[in-house]
Amino acid sequence: MAFTELTFDSALADRIAGEGAGDSRPAFVTEDGTAIMPSEFEQMVSASAAWLASRGIVQGDRGSIWLPNRIEWMALLFACARIGAIVGAVNTRYRAAELQHILKSSGSKLLIFEGKNSYTDFHSVIAELDFSVLPELEMLACTDQGDAPLPPLNNIEIDFFSMNESLPTASSCGTADSPILMFTTSGTTNAPKLVVHTQRAVGLHANNCAAALGFDKEGARLLAVMPFCGVFGLSPTLAAVASGAPVYLNTRFDLDLLIRTVKANAITHLFGSDEMYQQIWQKDKNTFAHARICGFASFTPGMEEKLREMAAAGVPLTGLYGASELHAILSTQPLLLPVEQRLQGGGKFTGEATELRVRNTETGEFCKPEEIGVLEFRSPTNFIGYYRNEEATAKAIDPEGFFHSNDVGLLRKDGTFVYIARNGDFLRLSGFLTDPKVIEEVVEQNDSVGKCQVVGIEVDGKTRPVAFVIASDVAIPPVEEEVIQNAKSLLAHYKVPLKVFVLDAFPTTESANGVKIQKTKLRDIAISQYQGN
């Protein structure tokens, strides 16, 4: 089906339902089990577009959505596409400083938010904003209309978003070249940037994933549990929509709810973190009975052995690759590969037009297959730039149109690729590029060590590895000398940690796609601690 423009109308609703089948299967199923048929969803989109237009949102305006995985999120996305407005996707875990940065950077005219959930009182967080730096923010609207109206904020009356108002039909102004989405980068080292995608890129990527990952096969069903505010949650959802596979919505990660939803509805497609799958496996192995693909990203240190156990037992786990600039599930590892290769990040591109080259950053030359370098991507589904940040855009996209990812990996001889680590995480030790995971896995062999992270610091003109560990038993902390001695017996001398520091927890940052460990902060701690000794 043609989904090159991210619009949802009656014709698309009919195609999603199946040729001549009408409303034979739902487009979405909400958390409480309510099935929303394609024609119903089309009405929601039309009503949402009319609501936005009635509030003065026009082509080119930015509106931020601060909601969990509710049907309103999807309806507003397609509605904005229809009228040519741009959606700023806001993480529901954000607090005032993060929210303010996104609203300021995007120049959002409207913020649509949920009233309150188990994590956040959204209205209270908004009250903490410094509205003096948000001159473009004119409207606030809540999806949850309570018994009493919410008090105004900064003299802005709180409106209520509704898909039930009787309003004139909105004009369709969005085109394939219209910007539709702004995602935030994770911001682990710098302030988050806003990644801009067009309707054409979003729609084409959805089509690519629908065909490549079997969303278009009979009986395909997706569980949408990763948040829509990040590409990891949104890309699979739009792929399911493009192919007509029903999407089952979970507004939050709740293990029991997830398992019930998957088992009761024979879910075939899941996407999430390595830790999510490990928790499911420990709770109820039968959850994966109908699974056809379980795409995952590695966020949790020390999870490799558990994933190998699950894959060997038949769980269709597959490593993947993506980025806010490139969408999620840009690639997945083929399920026919041996387990060890299948669980690596990277894989085969879902879109045939995507190109990859691997560059040696020291020589500037392109790497041969199996040689490690920095990954550069060119695809018609790439982002078009960082919003209002020409300098960052010029650094990220070269004149040939390749996005310089700052990720390290290699091309396999079969044409697939392997993502290894962020370039800043990779270490050059004694002249050799070294994956810190190799050292981390050895350190974690110590019974006293639960988890390990390794960074590099400069000592006497050379990069030396430093290990940070979390104890497996708080009553018996790891002993530095024992950890280092064990590493000496198993690793080349240049890989042996110079120092071992024990932490209660690793510093992390929460992105829309998962919780990430901040190795930059670990590096700063290592430098400070080493110099202080």
Q: What is the CATH number of the domain that holds 70?
A: 3.40.50.980
CA 389 to chain CA centroid, nearest Å: 21
Ranges of H-type helices in 231-359:
231-243, 255-264, 274-283, 304-312, 339-342
Ranges of H-type helices in 213-254:
231-243
Mean pLDDT of the 39-52 span: 94
Q: Give the chain's count of helices (H) and strands (E).
A: 15, 28
Residue 189 is predicted with a pLDDT of 42
58 within a domain of the structure (yes/no):
yes
Mean pLDDT of the 436-449 span: 89
65 within a domain of the structure (yes/no):
yes
Residues 50 and 101 in one domain: yes
In whole angstroms, give the CA distance from residue 353 to residue 432. 33
Q: Other CB atoms closer than 10 Å to residue 504's CB: what's the count? A: 7
pLDDT, one tens digit per residue, over 137-147 is 999 999 987 66
Q: Other CB atoms closer than 10 Å to residue 374's CB: what's the count? A: 19
Q: Which residue type is seen at 363?
A: T
DSSP 16: H
Residues linked to residue 271 through DSSP beta bridges, in sequence order? 295
Checking if the pLDDT of 516 tops 90, the result is no
Residues 242 and 389 in one domain: yes
Element (H, E) at 531: helix 519-532
Residue 16 is predicted with a pLDDT of 47
In whole angstroms, give the CA distance from residue 406 to residue 392. 13
Residue 357 is predicted with a pLDDT of 96
In whole angstroms, give the CA distance from residue 111 to residue 451. 40
Reported confidence tier of residue 474, pLDDT bands at 50, 70, 90: confident
Residue 489 is predicted with a pLDDT of 84
Side-chain-side CA neighbours of residue 18 (13 Å): 13
Residues 368 and 448 in one domain: no
Checking if the pLDDT of 225 tops 50, the result is yes
Residues 412 and 439 in one domain: no
Lowest mean per-residue pLDDT among 98-102, 254-258, 410-414, 430-434: 430-434
Q: What is the mean pLDDT of the chain?
A: 89
Element (H, E) at 29: strand 28-29
The residue ranking higher by pLDDT, 332 or 95, is: 332
Checking if the pLDDT of 182 tops 80, the result is yes
SS3 state of residue 51: helix
CB 261 within 8 A of CB 35: no
Q: What is the CATH number of the domain that holds 331?
A: 3.40.50.12780
In whole angstroms, give the CA distance from residue 421 to residue 423. 6
Mean pLDDT of the 144-167 span: 88
Q: Which residue type is seen at 92?
A: T
Given 403, 422, 441, which residue is the final one in a domain?
A: 422
179 within a domain of the structure (yes/no):
no
Checking if the pLDDT of 11 tops 70, the result is no
12 within a domain of the structure (yes/no):
no
Give the largest Cα separation in the chain, rounded. 75
26 within a domain of the structure (yes/no):
no
Reported confidence tier of residue 423, pLDDT bands at 50, 70, 90: low
In whole angstroms, give the CA distance from residue 246 to residue 219. 9
Residue 462 is predicted with a pLDDT of 79
Given 422, 437, 471, which residue is the final one in a domain?
A: 422
Checking if the pLDDT of 17 tops 70, the result is no
CB 140 within 8 A of CB 164: no
Mean pLDDT of the 188-206 span: 83
pLDDT, one tens digit per residue, over 235-244 is 999 999 998 8
Long-range pairs for 120-123: beta carbons < 8 A, 24 or more residues apart: 120/92, 120/93, 122/66, 123/150, 123/153, 123/158
Given 381, 401, 422, which residue is the final one in a domain?
A: 422
Residues 415 and 445 in one domain: no
Checking if the pLDDT of 464 tops 70, the result is yes
Mean pLDDT of the 336-363 span: 94
Q: Which residue type is seen at 211?
A: A
Residue 119 is predicted with a pLDDT of 75
Reported confidence tier of residue 475, pLDDT bands at 50, 70, 90: confident
Domains: count for the chain: 3
CB 72 within 8 A of CB 161: yes
User: Which domain does 528 fall in, by range?
Assistant: 427-532
Selection from 501, 424, 446 nearest residue 469 by Cα: 501
CA distances in angstroms from 254 to 173, 226, 429, listed in the order given: 39, 11, 42
Mean pLDDT of the 270-284 span: 93
Residues 161 and 304 in one domain: no
Residues 147 and 275 in one domain: no
3 within a domain of the structure (yes/no):
no
